[in-house]
Amino acid sequence: MPDDYTFAEWTTEQEERDAIREEDCGPNGEDPGGANGHDSAPASPRLQLSPRLTRDEMAAQSIEFLCQEARFLARGVSTLLTSIGGVGKTRMLLQLLSELSQGVPLFGCDLLCPTRPMKCLYIGAEDSQPFFNYLAQPLLANSSDTLPFDVILLPEVWPGFTLTPTTTGTLAAFVEDYRAQHGLDCAALDPMVSLIGREYADMMKNPVVARAFFNDCIAPLLASQAFALVSANHDSKAGAAVAGSGDQQNVARCVLQLSTEGITPEGVTTIIADRRKDNLGFRFSKLVLERDLDTLLLSWNPTASVYAYGAPVGHAAPASPSHDPADVMRYLCRQAVRLVDAPADQRTKGIVESRLYEQATRDKHTHVRDNVRRCVNGFCDFEPDPAPGRGRRLLLVGVRNPDAAMDEHGDYLAGRPARESEAEGPC
């Protein structure tokens, strides 16, 4: 979009055009001359049956996905990302638009590769320019780079903008004007909660109001069916905002709920996108993304992610965890080794046991608690913390080879009884 063509200037021009049209209308807003200048326009659309289409005709008029292989981001369809505050919705959305604009696999996942570089427009409803710059800067590798997608920051040009039938018409006309000039494949609204006016406040608990918001404020934006709409929103129900019938899921066909399980033993923050609603056949039931500590960018974790309908052609589904006790203990010992060099407060006996339990649970192992206790008591070496006043705290200092332990002691499957220094349990 040219720098001299701003949203504020465009809306002024649009208001002038609307005023001219209103002068040509009758007292009730109708066009006295009708479409052809002679007959009055009908008061309401005329109902008629839709034609019966063949399979081939349906295929010719089917929706188009921006990421075809994953059935993700369909033109004319709304997709919603939702989470409690602070998980990282905006950063995730900005990275998604950046990679979509460049035509590269989203988050490094080949299945989420767009069919070509897409033209994207970000409509920010919450952040002003300085904070937006802070969030978007990690996307740019060089000092002279600019974002590959266009941006409108509503707080900068129209403070307090919310979607109503009137303002939706203004925004929809602007978006269509932008599409006519530049093309448009994906538009993003962020966050949706900043765009919901007071008259639709009950949409979080009333499905009728939620549907009215869709009809009044979302459907007009998608009237052309030419681009995909993706929005981010705050989760107002402490982790369950899209679990019921009367909330945000009523304004989207695909809803991904984001959450984080904290920091992994390697110090990496993990974001999990759970598919809460899907009418499109999105390929993942759980998409796991890991954030780089330095760049803050997200990358796909193929092992932890879960396909919804089995692995597609050319992709291997993560192997199911082994139920063989020896394999389980080898797995747990490998996880424990990663903690040996961690800071002291991250390798106490209690923390080690908790981390192993969380990791084994995420990787879908069974009998997790019993196996973790066997690993901690039988194969992990702990010593008292040498720091002053910390003598009762046990720290992980090493992990024994489970296969050697099995050969030497024969108690591998049963686990070792706790040594006397460990009998008091986690400190």
pLDDT in tens, 391-426: 678 899 999 887 765 544 444 443 334 344 334 443
Sorted by where each starts, the structural domains of the chain and their CATH numbers stand as 62-307 (3.40.50.300), 325-422 (no CATH)
Beta strand 284-291 pairing with 150-153: unpaired
- Please tell me the distance from the alpha carbon of residue 337 to that of residue 71, in angstroms, as a whole number: 39
C-alpha distances out from residue 25 to 21, 32, 38, Å? 7, 7, 14
Find, among 407, 352, 347, 343, the residue nearest to 375 by Cα.
352
**What are the φ and ψ backbone dihedral angles of 8, each rounded to 5 degrees?**
-65, -45
C-alpha distances out from residue 219 to 169, 264, 271, Å? 10, 41, 30
C-alpha distances out from residue 42 to 34, 35, 47, 167, 169, Å? 8, 10, 12, 25, 21
**What are the φ and ψ backbone dihedral angles of 422, each rounded to 5 degrees?**
-105, -5
pLDDT at position 247: 56
pLDDT at position 322: 80
Find, among 100, 86, 87, 81, the residue nearest to 275 by Cα.
81
Residues in the chain: 427
Which pair of tokens denotes residue 416?
């070792």
pLDDT at position 12: 66
Q: Which amino acid is at 98?
A: S
- Please tell me the distance from the alpha carbon of residue 95 to that of residue 73, in angstroms, as a whole number: 15
Strand-pair partners of 258: 273
Residue ranges in the chain modelled with pLDDT below 50: 1-2, 4, 22-38, 238-246, 407-427
C-alpha distances out from residue 164 to 7, 104, 172, Å? 17, 36, 11
- Please tell me the distance from the alpha carbon of residue 209 to that of residue 138, in angstroms, as a whole number: 38
Compute the chain's Rg from CA coordinates. Answer: 28
CB 95 within 8 A of CB 297: yes
Give the 3-state secondary structure of the chain: CCCCCCHHHHHHHHHHHHHHHHHCCCCCCCCCCCCCCCCCCCCCCCCCCCCCCCHHHHHHCCCCEEECCCCEEECCCEEEEEECCCCCHHHHHHHHHHHHHHCCCHHHCHHHCCCCCCCEEEEECCCCHHHHHHHHHHHCCCCCCCCCCEEEEHHHHCCCCCECHHHHHHHHHHHHHHHHHHCCCEEEEECHHHHECHHHHHHHCCHHHHHHHHHHHHHHHHCCCCCEEEEEEECCCCCCCCCCCCCHHHHCCEEEEEEEEEECCCCCEEEEEEEEEECCCCCEEEEEEEECCCCCCEEECCCCCEECCCCCCCCCCCCCCCCCHHHHHHHHHHHHHCCCCCCHHHCEHHHHHHHHHHHHHHCCCCCHHHHHHHHHHHHEEEEECCCCCCCCCEEEEEECCHHHHHHHHCCCCCCCCCCHHHCCCCC
pLDDT at position 364: 79
pTM above 0.85, yes or no: no
Alpha carbon 398 to chain centroid, angstroms: 38
**Angle, CA 360 vertex, CA 238 and CA 385 arms, to 5°:** 95
pLDDT at position 163: 94
- Please tell me the distance from the alpha carbon of residue 352 to that of residue 288, in angstroms, as a whole number: 23
Which pair of tokens denotes residue 91?
């950063």
